[in-house]
Homo-oligomer: A and B are copies of this chain.
Amino acid sequence: MSPRHDVRGPVLIVGTGLLGTSLGLALRELGVEVGLENRSPSSLHLARDLGAGEPAGPGFQPRLVVVATPPDVIVPHVAAALRAHPHAVVTDVASVKGGLAEAVASEVGDAVARFVGSHPMAGRERSGAAAADSDLYQGRTWVICPHATADADAVAAVRRLAISVGSLPVVMDAGEHDLAVAAVSHVPQLVASLTATRLADLPTEALALAGQGVRDVTRIAASDPMMWSAIFAANARSVLPHAEALLDSLEDVVGALRTAAEEGPGAPGVMKAFAGVIEGGRRGVSRIPGKHGGAARRYAEVTVFVPDKPGELGRLFAEIGAASVNIEDLRLEHAAGAKLGVATLSVLPARVAELTAHLEELGWRVMA
A residues neighboring B (CB under 8 Å): 1, 72, 121, 124-125, 133, 135-136, 138-141, 143, 166, 168, 170, 172, 176-177, 179-181, 183-185, 187-200, 202-203, 205-211, 213-226, 228-230, 232-234, 236-237, 239-240, 242-247, 249-251, 253-254, 256-261, 265-266, 270-271, 274-275, 277-289, 291-293, 301, 303, 305, 307-308, 310-311, 313-323, 325-332, 334-342, 365-368
Contact = CB atoms under 8 A, between A and B. Distances in A.
A250 B246 CA distance: 9
A307 B166 CA distance: 11
Contacts of A284: 195-200, 218, 221
B305 A208 contact: no
7 smallest CB-CB distances across A and B, nearest first, come from A318-B321, A193-B281, A139-B340, A180-B206, A236-B260, A233-B265, A221-B281
A261 B341 CA distance: 46
A286 B222 CA distance: 8
Nearest to A218: B285
Contacts of A239: 257
Given A199-B288, A205-B180, A240-B261, A189 B166 contact: no
12 contacts: A138-B365, A180-B203, A180-B209, A192-B213, A198-B246, A216-B220, A221-B278, A236-B257, A243-B250, A313-B327, A314-B321, A314-B327
A138 B342 CA distance: 9
B335 A327 contact: no
A188 B168 CA distance: 33
Given A193-B278, A249-B197, A287-B202, A293 B209 contact: no
A323 to B, nearest CB: 7
Contact of A340 (B138, B210, B321, B332): B138
Select the residue from A222, A307, A311 with max chain B CB neighbours within 10 A: A222
A335 B140 contact: yes
Nearest to A292: B337
A52 to B, nearest CB: 15
B197 A217 contact: no
